[in-house]
Structure 1
């Protein structure tokens, strides 16, 4: 490489003696140009310091290879793992994924959608914030750009949803806890997304079907800081020592992790050993769940299947047309993970 910097596609096409449209066609798909032309371009790439702006190239394409991935908190190991799996599936399908985090802000979520519009993505895989999302703006985006929703299902939006079946997974855990000990009370996470309400309803239904009285415990908090909410709420709850049950089912693992920290601070031993006085279970099989002390009994969501199916559904939308008014939801069953906490 001689080190001469080429500023744009026009300069590069002049250097290699190939027309600007043909150069653009090569960068879109190298095999789409003749072998002799391809050799000229690749020889010039070796000689000159030039790399095209892929986003600019994509602006001139009818359909880009960009896929947007949007999650509420990419720093959360749960959503980080979801994003990683989605990225891998997109790459295997021949697309270029870009991941964004809305940081729990509905306004920032909308800003991300505007950024994605400017990128002209082939499609978007989105785990929306949920309850506080600007639903009308999400709906308009889904009508414009092929979008598949993951994890959080927003009713009324004409986008395919791929996720977990809470009305299968929660009763699975309730039945196990009732069968192996005292029927559980339900430690509820803040209703930040539709999963919160569905899991509470699934718990209530399962308890009633088994002939038990449901007990839902609500604590202060209205954001995504679930560990802190579980910890502070747990200190108050366990400190009163008036629990309706010594078995607690938390609506997600992050809440359970906070609750277990509160129990430790209050010198309450959690687990199934004879000297333990409290059982705690969660939902999601968070990446940290197996490393808590004791390790957390939980429900594992099938995110291998969910992410693969999400990308397959999006590719189908891209290839055969945009989202229709008819939703096509797919729900996967959860799996009981028995560990030491319950």
Structure 2
């Protein structure tokens, strides 16, 4: 076979004089073949520049080594960081992570689910769009694939892992009320269940402290949160539409846009003399410490959410048991992050 381009595993096995089943066994699990055989195969891979079709190998397995990861908007640094941590955990455990994004659109989320399903994954980690999701499509997927849902608590899969909004929002509301004018709450049209929970938690916390809740909703929708905060939040600043000089935003991305809008209007954000308003957010978005001024917020416990999501999925895969009908929810408390904006 000298001089021929090797295209298949059969041709590769014939060229190096090792049986096809042994070569296949090596690609499924290199440690499962003897070291001398492994060394021969790896030397031959280098010599012949052969690259096996991993997709085809996976399709022939009863249980693949593929883990699907789906998020609503991969360009958002929040989800990019979550995915980076999940990907690393999967790789370290010997799995092949496949990462897909819905780009904020239902039909793309459905296509991503179909693509993922075609790979016959061992399991999946899903952060659904939320309100825009096709619940039936998510349910069909989760019936066939062990699934852990994170961030957006859509009622599918075996387990949800996320943040305790009814702990984190009251914590920052209490801080803002103790240190200045009680906050109003700025939100946009909700895109996932977190938004509604945060509004409800704000109302509960304000009433518990003896203040009237003041919810301000701007009419923006979609996933361009910073643009909504900049444009529609800016319009509210110009019209005097905020009932308080302390503004708690539903998420950090809205707050980042609002801080930019204040800068455009010459309004100083922060504490002390000369400051026109305080702005706070939620999530500890990776860019929140780089705003001017840096954003006061509540951090989600990224590492705990990632570790628990991945560990829970691995337990499901290892046990082979599905606990559908007995879905569990695991929530992690947030931490107050004090910076100059509030």
Does the TM-score normalized on the shorter chain lie above 0.5?
Answer: yes
- TM-score, L = length of structure 2: 0.96
Asked if the contact 1:143–1:323 (Cα under 8 Å) also holds between the matched residues in 2, the reply is no
CA contact (8 A) 1:3 1:49 kept: no
Matches of 2:137 and 2:233, distance apart in 1: 37
Structure 1 portions without partners, runs of 5+? none
Q: How many residues align?
A: 340
Assess if the C-alpha contact under 8 Å between 1:4 and 1:49 holds in 2. Answer: no
Instruction: Name 1:131's counterpart in structure 2.
Output: 131
* Range that drifts further, 262-271 or 275-284: 262-271
- Aligned mates of 1:258, 1:134 — CA distance in 2: 29
Shift of 1:18: 2.4
Contiguous gaps of at least 5 residues in structure 2: none
Residue 61 of structure 2 is matched in structure 1 by 61
CA displacement, residues 59-102 of structure 1 (integer Å, 9 cap, x when unaligned):
11111111111111111111111111111111122212121111
Residue 189 (structure 2) pairs with residue 203 (structure 1): no
* Counterpart secondary structure, 2:309: helix
TM superposition shift of 1:241: 1.8
- How far apart, CA to CA, are the structure 2 residues paired with 1:240 and 1:40? 74
Describe how 1:279-290 pairs up with structure 2 within 5 A: 279-290=278-289
User: In the TM superposition, what is the alpha-carbon distance from 1:145 to its structure 2 partner?
Assistant: 0.5
CA distance in 1 between counterparts of 2:189 and 2:170 reads 20
In structure 1, the residue matched to 2:12 is: 12
Give every structure 1 segment of 4 or more consecutive aligned residues whose post-TM-superposition deviation is greater than 6 Å. none
Q: Distance in 2 between matches of 1:3 and 1:192?
A: 58
Q: Distance in 2 between matches of 1:216 and 1:3?
A: 73
Q: 1: distance between equivalents of 2:147 and 2:306?
A: 14
Matched, 1:51 2:60: no
Structure 2 SS opposite 1:183: coil
CA distance in 2, matches of 1:129, 1:327: 19
**Aligned partners of 2:216 and 2:242 also within 8 Å:** no
Aligned to 1:159: 158
- Does the CA contact (< 8 Å) of 2:147 and 2:157 recur in 1? no
Q: Does the C-alpha gap of structure 1 residues 242 and 93 become closer, same or farther in structure 2, counting only changes over 3 Å?
A: same
- Partners of 2:162 and 2:265 in 1: how far apart? 37
- Counterpart in 2 of 1:171? 170
1:113-142 deviation line (CA, Å, top 9, x unaligned): 111111111111111111110001101111
Distance 2:99 2:207 in 1: 42
TM-score, normalised to structure 1, is: 0.96
User: How is 1:15-164 mapped onto 2 (pairs within 5 angstroms)?
Assistant: 15-155=15-155, 157-164=156-163
Whether the aligned pair in 1 keeps the contact of 2:188 and 2:219 (CA below 8 Å) is no
> How many Å apart are 1:317 and its aligned residue?
0.8
Matched, 1:250 2:249: yes
What secondary structure, in the 3-state scheme, does the structure 2 residue paired with 1:329 have? strand
Alpha-carbon distance in structure 1 between the residues aligned to 2:148 and 2:275: 44
Rate the CA distance shift 1:190–1:16 in 2: closer, same or farther, 3 A. Answer: same
Report the alpha carbon displacement of residue 242 of structure 1 after superposing the two structures with TM. 4.4
Taking the aligned partners of 2:312 and 2:261, their CA distance within structure 1 comes to: 42
Q: Cα deviations across residues 33-84 of structure 1 (Å, max 9, x unaligned)?
A: 3445434433432432212111111111111111111111111111111111
